[in-house]
Chains A and B, each alone.
Chain A
Amino acid sequence: MNLGATEALKLTSFLTAVALLVQNLEFWRLRRKLESLSLRFCPRVFSALLGLQLASLLALNVSSTSGPAAVSVLFASTLLISVHFRGRFSGGADSMGLVLLSGLSVAAWWPEHSSTALIYIGVQSTLSYLIAGVAKLWRARWRTGAALLSFFAKTSPYDVPRGFEALLGRAHFARGVSWFIILFELSLGAALFDSKWLLVWVSAAIAFHFLNFVAFGLNRFWWVWISSYPALFYLAQTL
């Protein structure tokens, strides 16, 4: 899959806008419920930030190219929304959203550095899998599958299907799934060097994040990580 910088940027810009729109609409829905909590800004400022983010998202998608002002306002409002929750609302998804927006901002202000901006996004996306894979490989509870079961049983916001909990309760199955995840995350390093394998790897990654959504409710991760894949393809072409 060959992508020029312009196509890769347009795709990244569109997918990022969709990912942030999903987040924005979720926050609008939660707005009243969050009013009773001691968060960083007062409810009015939070609503204003959501309005600003929504307006800049629309501006970003209506125009054929990402205007520097729209991307910068989007970056600032997204960062401040994250600050409102002390940087804890969506953890890694917040970070990846800001990585995408910082790359898009650089490309919008300095088009001659578009390639560098895409490579930055691609490198961060790669690191997200490699670091997570190495960290799991390093920990005995991940290697045995115990950590996976613990997260699934206690952290998921959803009810655990009985059959799946029973399956994960079997040591061999949990260990197998854990090792599959570890090897899948680490294999991105090799897939980057072969465009056909990268296409297969990205297809598997889309399914992997979908399963993470089903198991752990991480819908935001699905959207933002998919948004980084055009940059992965671009990065692979430069290697």
Chain B
Amino acid sequence: MRIRLSDFRALVPSWLFFDDATEGLEIELRVAEETDKPGPWETAFPRIDRKLADLFHSPEANLQLYRVSCFESLLAQSQEHLHDPASLASSEIYQLCLQLVREQRPKARFLQFRIGEALISSFHEDPI
């Protein structure tokens, strides 16, 4: 556990609520048995049903928003790793995003994700 100053970002409100660079992200994944035969791209986080009671208790929708927020952060950080793309894969935020995608397809042998057309990960293999 290593806490960073940026983890306290909520203490300094920005009130902007959106970022032009990451506006309306489309996050997709594909799985494969062999890396040269990937399946089709599909939405990484399928949408959920809307209910009025969600106003009082909406854990799934908030988790979904958190996932998107993590990918926004990854896309923003990817600009800092343009000179060395491999270093992005070892960053904390990349690993977190990979975990978020991985939990959608826990049994997939190989898995790849992309954010729009802008950032495409390499294939990741986890033990089945």
Contact = CB atoms under 8 A, between A and B. Distances in A.
Contacts of B12: 95
Contact of B54 (A79, A127, A213): A213
A165 to B, nearest CB: 12
A155 B7 contact: no
Interface string A76-110: 00010011011111111011111100000000000
Contacts of A88: 9, 66, 69-70, 73
A42 B1 CA distance: 8
Contacts of B56: 22, 219
A26 B17 CA distance: 22
B23 A141 contact: yes
By size class, the interface of chain A is 35 or more
B49 A132 contact: no
Interface stretch (A7-15, A49-57, A146-154, A191-199): A146-154
A22 B57 contact: yes
A217 B58 contact: yes
Interface in A145-197: 147, 150-151, 153-160
B64 interface: yes
B3 A157 contact: no
A44 interface: no
Contacts, number: 153
Nearest to A218: B65
Contacts of B66: 85, 88-90
Nearest to A81: B10
A36 B99 contact: yes
A64 interface: no
A4 to B, nearest CB: 27
B82 interface: no
B39 interface: no
A37 B96 contact: yes
Contacts of B20: 139, 141
Contacts of A97: 10
Given A22-B57, A132-B15, A217-B62, 16 more contacts: A37-B96, A38-B92, A38-B96, A42-B1, A82-B8, A88-B9, A91-B10, A95-B15, A127-B15, A131-B16, A147-B18, A157-B61, A157-B65, A217-B50, A217-B64, A219-B58
21 contacts: A26-B62, A30-B63, A33-B63, A33-B103, A37-B96, A40-B7, A83-B7, A86-B4, A86-B9, A88-B9, A90-B66, A132-B15, A135-B17, A135-B18, A151-B23, A154-B25, A155-B25, A155-B68, A157-B60, A218-B65, A222-B55
Interface of A: 22, 25-27, 29-30, 33, 36-42, 79, 82-83, 85-92, 94-99, 124, 127-128, 131-132, 135, 139, 141, 147, 150-151, 153-160, 210, 213-214, 216-220, 222
